[in-house]
Amino acid sequence: MIMFMVVYLLLFAVFVFLLNDKIRHGPDDGDLQPAGKWALGFRANGGAK
Amino acid sequence: MTHADGMDVLMLSRLQFAFTIAFHYIYPPLSIGLGLLLVVVEGWWLQTRNPLYHQMARFWTKVFALTFAIGVATGIVMEFEFGTNWATYSRYVGDVFGSALAAEGIFAFFLESGFLAVVLFGWEKVGPRLHFFATCMVALGAHFSAIWIVVANSWMQTPAGFHIVGEGLAARAEITDFWAMVFNPSSMDRLAHTLVGAWQAGAWLMVSVGAWYLLHRRHREFALASVKIGLGVAAVAALLSLVTGDASARGVARNQPAKLAAFEGLWQTAPQAPLHLFGWVDETHGCTHGPEVTGLLSWLAYGDSGRPVTGLEAIPPTDRPPVNATFQLFHLMVAVGCALIGLAGWAGIALVAGTAGAIAPAPVAADLRGTRSADCQPGRLVGGGGGRQPWIVYGLLRTSNALSPWSRPTRWRPR
């Protein structure tokens, strides 16, 4: 029973750590401009409106 | 249930399952809600080509993947518990749940997890429209998953479309009408309430993260867009929760009178049944203390304040659920739901006001309260399941008879 609780606590800690890390890191600025063939379509459409 | 020399296996099994499913149930609603929001954000990017929405879609896809992964990991444990702790129950419902859970695996989980690979790793490798299609399939898979699980759970509340084969420990339910099983009396009401609750959970997570960025003066454009989109979905879903919750409660009044009586701490069967706003149930003396509105429960349940509502005294004590726990969890769920409607309204007004100063209080509140929407989900789950007690399948199989045969006589002693 103790091991069961420990495993769940560890799993929850991993979730909180990864979510916190992702939120603190924030969105990548590089994601503002699509790359690869998406960029071709993006430019063809005239970029951001 | 409990004994001076320790807890019995039944209570331990119930505690373990309650803990496991409450923990698991934090994640699927977030996945369902975020899945819908990913469709909105990516669709909006395809429509406007505004790179901000592309950035949002990529960020929230990563958060979605995290909730999905933890949801899968925590869900697997329950499958094992069905076998180790609840073998009699598994045998009893196996022929009914088999088809629903197989449909969940094939039509929902495979759909969701297969297309998730395209969504996660397909950026710039597949075309934008194909990627959007994959995002839609992921969201659809998450919703389908909810459909089949809620159908199975609703069958436990209001069994339909079956007959019983065998007797005693060998008894089991077999489907006689698949669609009657799917559309059992409570499944659609409960499904609607579950889905709008899940949309709220995902939307409030998006609002909360956007609010945190606004408070820390980071990624302002991204944060404002997250708050606006999340708040729009949260506000609509919060209002829909009222409608679907009301429909679900009317269904409980029709199909599970003991559960409704426990929800409201109602003891006497009488016209003008009162609704307690909050309170404390004294199960020993059979009364409920707290402010009440006379006739409101009759009106909410039947649309007629003069109509009697069945009280707990009309139900044999052995067939009553644990009243105070069910009462408190149900009222907590309603209170959180109402608070989220108020929060959505407040934040919406602040956003429409438009100045940074006006917006500031809303994100603070959202940051503090927003993710409580996800916390509300286990409350909803435990309240609903607790009200079904002492039955694991309502009116057919008692929870105490659903344990694995080997575990029944065993008594656990704390060290």
Torsions phi, psi of B281, nearest 5?
-95, 125
Residue in A closest to B56 by C-alpha: A27
Q: Which helix (H) or strand (E) holds B287?
A: strand B287-289
CA distances to B51, B131, B137, B178 from B122, in Å: 17, 7, 14, 38
Could you tell me if B388 and B156 are in contact, meaning their C-beta atoms sit under 8 angstroms apart? yes
At A45 the pLDDT is 53
**Buried/exposed code over B367-391 (b: 16+ C-beta within 10 A; e: otherwise):** bebbbbbbebbbbbbbbbbbbbbeb
Q: Out of B20, B51, B74, whose CB is closest to A48?
A: B51
Q: Which of A27, A41, A26 is nearest to B131 (CA)?
A: A41
Of A32, A39, A45, the CB nearest to B55: A32
Q: What is the DSSP letter of B290?
A: S
Among partner residues B54, B59, B218, which is closest to A34 by beta-carbon distance? B54
Do B311 and B267 meet the contact criterion of CB atoms below 8 Å apart? yes
8 Å CB contact between B176 and B96:
no
Please choose, from the candidates B183, B228, B176, the residue with its C-alpha nearest in 3D space to the C-alpha of residue B203.
Answer: B228
CA distance A19 to A6: 20
A44 touches B at CB < 8 Å: no
- pLDDT of the residue at B382: 57
Query: Which residue of A12, A16, A19 is the best one to mutate when testing the B interface, meaning the one whose CB has the most B CBs within 10 A?
Result: A19
> How far is the C-alpha of B373 from the C-alpha of B26, rounded, in Å?
10
pLDDT value at position B223?
94
Return d(Cα B344, Cα B72) in angstroms, integer. 30
Instruction: List CB contacts (< 8 A) between A32 and chain B.
Output: 51-52, 54-55
A6 interfaces chain B, CB cutoff of 8 Å: no
- Is residue B173 within a helix (H) or strand (E), and if so which, with residue range? strand B172-175
Which amino acid, residue B232?
A: G
Biggest alpha carbon–alpha carbon distance for chain B:
69
Contacts of A11 in chain B (CB under 8 A): 70, 73-74
Q: Which of A6-15, A36-45, B196-205, B282-291 has the lowest mean pLDDT?
A: A36-45
Query: Alpha-carbon distance B121 to B369, whole Å?
Result: 33
Radius of gyration, CA atoms only, chain A = 20
Q: Give the residue carrying structure tokens 């929850």.
A: A12
Q: Which residues contact B170 (CB under 8 A, 6 or more apart)?
A: B91
CB neighbourhood size of B139 (10 A): 25
Are B128 and A31 within 8 A, CB to CB? no
pLDDT for B414 equals 44
Q: Which tokens sit at B43?
A: 């669709």
With an 8 Å Cβ cutoff, are A28 and B58 in contact?
yes
- Pick from B197, B240, B193, B235: nearest CA to B366: B235
B127 and A48 within 8 Å at the Cβ level: the answer is no
**Given this model, what pLDDT does residue B352 score?**
79
A48 pLDDT above the threshold of 60: no
Q: β-strands B292-293, B275-276: how paired?
A: antiparallel
pLDDT in tens for each of the 415 residues of chain B?
A: 444 445 788 888 888 888 899 899 999 999 999 999 999 999 999 999 899 999 999 999 999 999 999 999 898 888 888 888 888 888 888 888 888 888 888 888 889 889 999 999 988 888 899 999 999 999 999 999 999 999 999 999 999 999 999 887 788 899 999 999 999 999 999 999 999 999 999 999 999 999 999 999 999 999 999 999 999 999 999 999 999 999 999 999 999 999 999 999 999 998 899 999 999 999 888 899 999 999 999 999 999 989 999 999 999 988 888 899 999 999 999 999 999 999 988 888 887 776 544 454 455 444 444 444 444 555 555 556 677 888 888 888 888 888 887 665 555 454 4
Whether the complex's predicted ipTM surpasses the cut of 0.95? no
Between CA B203 and CA B187 the distance in angstroms is: 24
Ramachandran angles phi, psi of B282, nearest 5°: -95, 95
Task: Judge whether B380 and B334 are in contact, CB under 8 Å.
Answer: no
**Residues sharing a CB contact under 8 Å with residue B273, sequence separation 6 or more, in sequence order:** B264, B266, B295, B297, B298, B301, B308, B309, B311
Show Cβ contacts of residue B313 under 8 Å, excluding neighbours closer than 6 positions: B267, B268, B269, B286
For chain B, the residue count is 415
CB B39 within 8 A of CB B48: no
